[in-house]
Amino acid sequence: MLTLYGIELASHLLLGTAQYPSPAILMEAIKASGTGVATVSLRRETAGGSSGDRFWSLIRSSGVRILPNTAGCHTVKEAVLTAQMARDLFATDWIKLEVIGNHDTLQPDVFALVEAARVLTDDGFKVFPYTTDDLVVAERLIGAGCEVLMPWCAPIGSAQGPLNLHALRSLRGHFPDIPMIVDAGLGRPSHAATVMELGFDAILLNTAVAKAGDPVAMAHAFAKATEAGHAAHRAGMLEPRDVAVPSTPVIGTAVFS
Amino acid sequence: MLTLYGIELASHLLLGTAQYPSPAILMEAIKASGTGVATVSLRRETAGGSSGDRFWSLIRSSGVRILPNTAGCHTVKEAVLTAQMARDLFATDWIKLEVIGNHDTLQPDVFALVEAARVLTDDGFKVFPYTTDDLVVAERLIGAGCEVLMPWCAPIGSAQGPLNLHALRSLRGHFPDIPMIVDAGLGRPSHAATVMELGFDAILLNTAVAKAGDPVAMAHAFAKATEAGHAAHRAGMLEPRDVAVPSTPVIGTAVFS
Amino acid sequence: MLTLYGIELASHLLLGTAQYPSPAILMEAIKASGTGVATVSLRRETAGGSSGDRFWSLIRSSGVRILPNTAGCHTVKEAVLTAQMARDLFATDWIKLEVIGNHDTLQPDVFALVEAARVLTDDGFKVFPYTTDDLVVAERLIGAGCEVLMPWCAPIGSAQGPLNLHALRSLRGHFPDIPMIVDAGLGRPSHAATVMELGFDAILLNTAVAKAGDPVAMAHAFAKATEAGHAAHRAGMLEPRDVAVPSTPVIGTAVFS
Amino acid sequence: MLTLYGIELASHLLLGTAQYPSPAILMEAIKASGTGVATVSLRRETAGGSSGDRFWSLIRSSGVRILPNTAGCHTVKEAVLTAQMARDLFATDWIKLEVIGNHDTLQPDVFALVEAARVLTDDGFKVFPYTTDDLVVAERLIGAGCEVLMPWCAPIGSAQGPLNLHALRSLRGHFPDIPMIVDAGLGRPSHAATVMELGFDAILLNTAVAKAGDPVAMAHAFAKATEAGHAAHRAGMLEPRDVAVPSTPVIGTAVFS
Amino acid sequence: MKLIVNGETRDVAAHFLDALLTELQFEGDWLATALNGELVRSTERPECLLKEGDRVEILTPRQGG
Amino acid sequence: MKLIVNGETRDVAAHFLDALLTELQFEGDWLATALNGELVRSTERPECLLKEGDRVEILTPRQGG
Amino acid sequence: MKLIVNGETRDVAAHFLDALLTELQFEGDWLATALNGELVRSTERPECLLKEGDRVEILTPRQGG
Amino acid sequence: MKLIVNGETRDVAAHFLDALLTELQFEGDWLATALNGELVRSTERPECLLKEGDRVEILTPRQGG
């Protein structure tokens, strides 16, 4: 059972809603993923338009909990205002806090991130910070009131999978009681299994599912791999060893010569 | 659907029967894995004993198909005779052909392997050769009549996972129509997902499940990861890219300054 | 030619002075490494003692430039005061700025690091910040007046070598004109060659040399590997390719059959 | 000192002679590499031509020892005849034995390789077999009379560097007294350093040097990296550790608060 | 009166934010609004007086990762 | 007569392989047998004559990977 | 007068930092000093007046990485 | 008489391998020769009699990896 800010969730997978071939496929993918949480953004409405309403009613019909993001924000001010508008619109105090620090890597600006996290938690938000694998930054975010962390494992949309297992392992080990969701950079179900095996609590996916040849099948595949990694972490895995060890018993082997 | 020598199997996982904490746990693990094939060996019976009968009736009660092995054989002669005794005893022409070439790595002796494979296929066996990731060896085994290959990905029982993805990818690509089962060296569900994502058809596990803290849970975890990797391979995965790409649309982003 | 704050150095290797089996071996290692810069620290003198004098005269006799560090500092205040004492003692405005943020990983506290860097550059210091591979942090340090960066590649003394080549490559690429010295985590000459091949300007070593079986030989080996990586980066390396390509010409091959 | 079939060589690098921008650059690269051995092939001469003479007098003028190869041979018969013609022409009993088993990977056909090695050693040749990282194959080659092994680390010309360090380490460890030259697949000096650090005795390069932007500089860089890796292996390297360890002494640290 | 609405200059009659939405036919039920970089809650729009040159942002739910 | 059964020297009365199994109380229903390195099918045991020094292997199902 | 010198409480007669170094036999030529968390340059020591309870740090060059 | 030399059919007058090399102007000093898949040492060429349809390979040093 995954517990985020007191909310219990059956699935260890969170899903983004962008870049799907069609709204219908998005809805099927949400279903196939078994997710209980979907991320959304806020963008400008066009005069006379109501595209927002259509998308929103679609998402609500899925019955999943909404996690609005501050994607595209580059300053504390932008992120805080976007979070406030999201709370007014979606009537939730959950916010996925993104403060982008670099256009090429889309990595967080950890300085602005910590400051925005403090402002928002003081304002009553339940912040889900998109952060790096930096231990010290994690400590600051927790100090700022975050009860969940969302470290990246590779640049957003890069599908490269975990680039620094050592740092992820160390981050996980230092804060055993903080729910940690690996956000950004996952490309394949094996990547999801790998980070869950390290003891992470959940993953947040978007591009790897939405841009797959068959997003619905891929959503299901990621769901299975995530559960597999989670179960393996709890079941206790064999440590790698440098020597081979026979599986079949050696004693009682026939001698024919 | 996995098809091995004309037999269709629902599960993409084959399971070894050695090293479990107890017969009961073995039976539960077989069930949890969903496997349709279990490997067994032949060993000396002790006068007055009937341990073989007890183990055998247990396995049969699981209803899975039996794949006897020639574990511990180091010569063509030993492997061929062991295969013949297995056929007489288990009334199956399936044989997992192991001819060990090195005590430390427990790797196949590819020279004896190809020769034994030829002898056994000529004698009507359906051979499952435990081999390396060597393309040329694979070609010889196919030439010798093998319709299934079982390449290792790391030394038996080492739990190291795939040590040479390049070689595995190349092996898979050269023989697209030969069912290939990754045998030996897998330690974690993510390893299983990784090789299935490469397009391998199945995996054969033993130590990683039997020696896990909770073998039954681990068997289930591997089953999920295997299906996840298989589904992902068919669904079409995103290629890793060196640059980050925003998932949330950029157009329509608010400007607050 | 390596240029650090206007000083030209022939060697691309900087060497730490701690943990050597003996002062004599330290001196030989400095010589064998060909380094032009050695790091030192400040520690409490014992009343009546003059161990500091002995060590200091030894180092000065080597003729290398001194880079004092703030090792062991955990706050801006400690780091700044230590830097000031170092300047008074060593009569150099160079300072290797370490502000440790975590006892287990000995990684920098990037928040305190940037603040201390600003204070010290304002006070006229030439700061060599020991930092992470975080791009945004690098940008802040440059903004704070640092003209050299010293990213880690793995935890101090871990000898693990570069844990995140993607981040290092990205860091290098974003600031092509800032001299970057990989500091901490290197264990083998091949690690040094690897980061120099990425285009880093120099490496700073200590444990990998001082704790080697033969520190003098190892210092020489690292020097060679560093120059090799530097030369290879300038000479233009072959890109890895997925297919094999014959080196020996195919045309004119004899046909004997 | 590297000893191959009783011949002592100062350099741990062997160099191929193909694909250079010009004969002049080839000659400079040989010089810069410091190699004592260069590989050559046999190809059809064109009637009226004497290109062979020109190339040959060029190579001889370099003063290095010649290692003819059987590149392009796919059968035992081809390889053996090519070796015999090479001996008649070059007046050397050294032969780099290549029997290619796959057009895409250009990997050795280990079956034909072992057979050809036996035929040639019986005929008085000193065989340098281009082989895989397979232990059992290595054992057969040694049994066939080979006193030197040349395992690949990646496909020829792929520049991917060592794809399976575990197999290379294991191969090296099993035959401590057999000189082993890593042949094929190296792309960067760091790759050369890596395999030399594992304890290999030498490397054979061609494409990575010949196709570099500056082949002469690259030859020199590889020479340095090779010596660095060799020296490091002998000097005794630090084992990687999972925890950080301060290099600067902790005792005597000032307390300012 | 001239305002900047979602980055475009508009000449409008409305004096209050809720009226502005109607005038410009922002008919969606799901909108979030900001005036000159400060949140204006949906409940506050009727009392939110606009003046020449104000910058208004009108946002709505969109796909997000 | 002395035989080597599963690596141990045994002095037995039986002249045929099936009788040997009974004499040595190999009562399992699931056995595979070899004589001097050659397979003896279960059906062939009654006619399988034993002689001094023969090497007999009697195998049974066991755990395997 | 009682001071804390490099973490240890010392009872000293000296009233100035340079005198303290002499009294405590810190005879090294290569020392750096701080008083109550502030740098005292070597040139400032003769005028650096000490008072009861001051914290003095006296540092010297050491191996470092 | 017709021979296949390095894969090409040639009509030649020479009866011995060394004469063939001269006739076809293979003037290099550094050649290796094979006749019908068998080595012919340089010293053996004068006595190496050729017959209709023989396959001759004439090789020379070339760049190699």
Walk along chain G (65 residues) and give the pLDDT tens digit of each residue.
Answer: 999 999 999 999 999 999 999 999 987 789 999 999 999 999 999 999 999 999 999 999 999 99
Which residues of A fall within a CB distance of 8 Å from E28? Answer: 45, 49-50, 52-53
Cα distance between residue C103 and residue A73, in whole Å: 33
What count of residues does chain B have?
Answer: 257
Least confident range from A45-54, A127-136, C114-123: namely A45-54
Token pair recorded at residue B119: 């002898």
Q: Which of D18, C179, B211, B100 is nearest to A241 (CA)?
A: B211
DSSP B29: H
Q: Which of B177, B131, B126 is nearest to B156 (CA)?
A: B131
CA distances from E54 to D45, D141, E33, E60, H7 (A): 85, 84, 13, 20, 87
Cα distance between residue A173 and residue C109, in whole Å: 18
Kindly give the residue spans of alpha helices, DSSP state H, lying in chain D. Answer: 23-33, 51-62, 76-90, 110-122, 135-143, 165-174, 189-197, 207-210, 215-235
Cα distance between residue C73 and residue C67, in whole Å: 16
**How much of chain F exceeds pLDDT 70, in percent?**
100
Q: Which chains are adjacent to chain G, needing at least 3 Cβ pairs under 8 Å?
A: C, D
Which residues of C fall within a CB distance of 8 Å from H6? Answer: 254
Res A175: pLDDT: 97
Report whether G6 contacts C43 (CB < 8 A).
no
Res H42: pLDDT: 94
Cβ of B110 within 8 Å of Cβ of D166? The answer is: no
pLDDT tens digits, A58-99: 999 999 999 999 999 999 999 999 999 999 999 999 999 999
Report whether A88 contacts A30 (CB < 8 A).
no
C174 touches chain A (CB under 8 A): yes
| Partner residue facing F37 (CB), from A248, A252, A256 | A256
Report the interhelical angle of B215-235 vs A189-197 (nearest 10°).
Answer: 150
Cα distance between residue D100 and residue D71, in whole Å: 8
Which residues of E fall within a CB distance of 8 Å from A48? Answer: 24-27
Cα distance between residue C150 and residue C129, in whole Å: 6
Q: Shortest Cα distance from F57 to chain A (angstroms)?
A: 7
What parts of chain D have a pLDDT lower than 50?
Answer: none
Cβ of E64 within 8 Å of Cβ of B252? The answer is: no
Cα distance between residue B196 and residue B231, in whole Å: 9
Q: What is the 3-state secondary structure (H, E, C) of B45-86?
A: CCCCCCHHHHHHHHHHHHCCEEEEECCCCCCHHHHHHHHHHH
Q: Which chains are adjacent to chain D, needing at least 3 Cβ pairs under 8 Å?
A: B, C, G, H
Cα distance between residue H7 and residue H27, in whole Å: 19
Residue type, A213: G
Q: For chain G, what are the domain ranges?
A: 2-59
Cα distance between residue C70 and residue C86, in whole Å: 9
DSSP B10: S
List Cβ neighbours of D87 (8 Å cut-off, separation of 6 or more).
D68, D93, D95, D125
Res A47: pLDDT: 75
Cβ of D158 within 8 Å of Cβ of C206? The answer is: no
Which residues of B fall within a CB distance of 8 Å from A47? Answer: none
Cα distance between residue F36 and residue A92, in whole Å: 80
Cα distance between residue D247 and residue C45, in whole Å: 19
DSSP C188: S
D51 touches chain C (CB under 8 A): no
Strand D94-97 and strand D126-131: pairing? parallel
Least confident range from C65-74, D195-204, E23-32: namely E23-32
Res A207: pLDDT: 95
Q: Shortest Cα distance from G39 to chain D (angstroms)?
A: 10
Res B58: pLDDT: 93
Cβ of G39 within 8 Å of Cβ of C81? The answer is: yes
Res A250: pLDDT: 85
What value, to the nearest 5°, has the Cα angle with vertex A170 and ends A165 and A174? 150
Mark which residues 6-65 of H lie under 8 Å from D by CB: 6-7, 24-34, 37-39, 41-42, 57-65
Residue of D nearest to H34 (CA): D85
Q: Shortest Cα distance from C213 to chain G (angstroms)?
A: 18
Least confident range from A210-219, A241-250, B205-214: namely A241-250
Residue type, C66: I
Res C117: pLDDT: 98
Cβ of A102 within 8 Å of Cβ of C136? The answer is: yes
Cβ of E62 within 8 Å of Cβ of B247? The answer is: no
Q: Check pLDDT > 90 for residue C101.
A: yes
Mean pLDDT of chain A: 95
Could you tell me the end-to-end alpha-carbon distance of chain E, in angstroms, rounded to an integer? 38
List Cβ neighbours of A38 (8 Å cut-off, separation of 6 or more).
A14, A15, A16, A17, A30, A59, A62, A64, A65, A66, A67
Burial class of B240 by CB neighbour count within 10 A (0 to 12, 13 to 18, 19+): middle
> What's the alpha-carbon Rg for chain A, to the nearest Å?
20
Q: Check pLDDT > 90 for residue C52.
A: no
What value, to the nearest 5°, has the Cα angle with vertex G65 and ends C42 and C12? 125
Cα distance between residue D195 and residue D163, in whole Å: 11
Cβ of G37 within 8 Å of Cβ of D256? The answer is: yes
Res D249: pLDDT: 86
Cβ of C257 within 8 Å of Cβ of H37? The answer is: yes
Which residues of B fall within a CB distance of 8 Å from D134? Answer: 107, 110, 132, 134
pLDDT tens digits, B213-252: 999 999 999 999 999 999 999 999 999 988 888 888 888 8
Which residues of F fall within a CB distance of 8 Å from A250? Answer: none
* Residue B100: strand, helix, or coil: strand
Neighbours of A147 (CB within 10 A): 17
What count of residues does chain H have?
Answer: 65
Q: Which of A31, A77, A96, A211 is catalytic?
A: A96
Res D63: pLDDT: 94
Res B61: pLDDT: 94
Token pair recorded at residue C253: 């091959």
Q: Shortest Cα distance from A89 to chain B (angstroms)?
A: 15
* Residue D160: strand, helix, or coil: coil
Q: Shortest Cα distance from B163 to chain D (angstroms)?
A: 6
Which residues of D fall within a CB distance of 8 Å from G65? Answer: 246-248
Q: Check pLDDT > 90 for residue E8.
A: yes
Neighbours of A209 (CB within 10 A): 32
CA dihedral in degrees (C48, C50, C51, C56; nearest 10)?
Answer: 160
Cβ of C249 within 8 Å of Cβ of H63? The answer is: yes
> What's the alpha-carbon Rg for chain E, to the nearest Å?
11
ipTM higher than the 0.90 cut = yes
What predicted TM-score, i.e. pTM, was given to this entire model? 0.94
Token pair recorded at residue C179: 């001299």
Cβ of D69 within 8 Å of Cβ of H62? The answer is: no
CA distances from A205 to A74, A183, A188, A214 (A): 22, 7, 10, 15
Report whether C246 contacts D156 (CB < 8 A).
yes
DSSP states of H7-59: TEEEE---SBHHHHHHHTT---S--EEEETTEEE-GGGGGG-B--TT-EEEEE
Cβ of C136 within 8 Å of Cβ of A163? The answer is: no
Average pLDDT over residues C148-160: 94
Report whether C43 contacts D251 (CB < 8 A).
yes
What count of residues does chain D have?
Answer: 257
What parts of chain B have a pLDDT lower than 70?
Answer: 257
Res A184: pLDDT: 86
pLDDT tens digits, C180-189: 999 989 999 9
Strand E55-63 and strand F2-5: pairing? unpaired
Residue C251: pLDDT band (50, 70, 90) is: confident
Could you tell me the end-to-end alpha-carbon distance of chain D, in angstroms, rounded to an integer? 58
Residues of B with a known catalytic role? 96
Q: Which of F11, F63, F23 is nearest to B47 (CA)?
A: F23
Neighbours of D1 (CB within 10 A): 6
Token pair recorded at residue C173: 């690429």
Res H55: pLDDT: 96
Q: What is F2-59's CATH topology?
A: Ubiquitin-like (UB roll) (3.10.20)
Res E28: pLDDT: 77
Q: Which chains are adjacent to chain E, needing at least 3 Cβ pairs under 8 Å?
A: A, B
Res A73: pLDDT: 95
Cα distance between residue A34 and residue B224, in whole Å: 15
Which residues of A fall within a CB distance of 8 Å from F63? Answer: 248-249
Report whether G33 contacts G17 (CB < 8 A).
yes
Cα distance between residue G53 and residue G36, in whole Å: 9
